[in-house]
Amino acid sequence: MSKRDYYKILGVDKNTSEKDLKKAYRRVAMKHHPDRNPGNKEAEEKFKEASEAYEVLSDSQKRAAYDQYGHEGVNAQMGGGGGFNNFSDIFGDVFGDIFSGGGSRGGRQHGSDLQYTLQIDLEQAIKGTTAKIRVPTLVACKPCNGSGAKAGSKATNCSTCGGVGQVRMQQGFFSAQQTCPNCRGQGTIIKEPCNICHGQGRVEELKTLSVKVPEGVDTGDRIRLSGEGEAGPSGGAAGDLYVQISVKPHDIFERDGVNLYCEVPVNFVDAVLGGDLDVPTLDGRVKLKVPAETQTGKLFRLRGKGVTPVRGGSKGDLMCRVVVETPVNLSKKQKDLLMEFRDATKGDKHSPRQSSWFEGMKSFFN
């Protein structure tokens, strides 16, 4: 039994969870596996140490004994001999999905998943829509029905693996199964391939699909279309298509979660005296009452004029930010009136913020 620190061998600490411990063992064992390092005695020794460390730390009782008493505690649990002869069992448990061809064991592999980015307008994202998309993909070959074999013929069992799709590998103490190199895990061999797909069972096609976009989606949301990915090889099941949503910028509104924001320009006279304004919403125009003496930056909330959450919940609001506009292109008469207005409104009570600002500036320089 190795006397090295088991935690250091696997590159983890004492608080590592069982799941992370398993990941760490996979990483170390794959790095030093004899198949990847033929004839390398040092790599073989490190592989044995990693398997030994995992065998102890993956067992709660052995791990507790090791944490408390070190290697002596583990020796006692193993009957004092420190024997370790179940590398194959541990390695097969942790790496079974790798050396079994994805768990197919001669079965047909699934096709790959695909991703498509769908750009939509803000209105479509908030209210929902149905979009047509065209996706390049691999579909089952129709003449051979996805089998890859020429019409009138069929695939035969692989002579190397006997139709299982796997062969057993034996190297010293270690025994495991791996994908058959002759049939590549399919378990069958096509002697007369289809003339259209050349034995692949799949052909390229530009597929048109209809995507139902629910109301409330936002950039980053994904819609899964089951079975609309690539067809599997040799008649295997198709993967899935994931439609990634990307919402285009809007000329008026900005979205923040379930709320919408927009800027509302207000004539400075209306800001001073108050008035009613027409404000755009996604449901049409509404009246917004602006009280007298409204300042730039004031936010007005229109409840229920925002976004309905895609996963349910209360509808958001529309937040209108007032921007007081400065008049431009004034005539001489208008300028004279404004100068008269300025002279008539001199004093702290008409511009309290300006007055406090000047006071603060004086204090700063003094």
Q: How is the beta sheet containing 114-120 ordered, strand by strand?
A: 114-120, 241-247, 222-225
Residue 187 has a pLDDT of 81
Report for 83-97, 198-212, 340-354: range of highest mean pLDDT: 198-212
Choice between 33 and 218, residue whose per-residue pLDDT is larger: 218
The response to whether 180 counts as a known ligand-binding position is yes
The response to whether 262 counts as a known ligand-binding position is no
Q: What is the pLDDT of residues 47-104, one digit of tens each?
A: 888 888 888 888 888 888 888 878 776 765 554 444 444 444 444 445 544 443 444 4
Report for 171-175, 178-182, 294-298: range of highest mean pLDDT: 294-298
Spell out the domain ranges in the chain. 6-99, 114-155+190-247, 254-365
Residue 359 has a pLDDT of 65
Q: Span 114-155+190-247: which CATH code? A: 2.60.260.20
Q: What is the pLDDT of residues 94-141, one digit of tens each?
A: 554 444 344 444 456 788 999 999 999 999 999 999 999 999 999 999
Give the pTM: 0.59
Question: How many Cα atoms occupy the beta-carbon half-sphere of 104 within 13 Å?
Answer: 25
Choice between 94 and 297, residue whose per-residue pLDDT is larger: 297
User: Percent of the chain having pLDDT more than 70?
Assistant: 82
Residue 300 has a pLDDT of 94
Q: Span 254-365: which CATH code? A: 2.60.260.20
The response to whether 183 counts as a known ligand-binding position is yes
The response to whether 197 counts as a known ligand-binding position is yes
Is 296's pLDDT higher than 50?
Answer: yes
Fold match flag (6-99 vs 114-155+190-247): no
Is 339's pLDDT higher than 80?
Answer: yes
112 phi, psi to nearest 5 deg: -75, 150
The Cβ of residue 189 has, within 10 Å, a number of other Cβ atoms equal to: 17
Residue 90 has a pLDDT of 47
Q: Span 6-99: which CATH code? A: 1.10.287.110
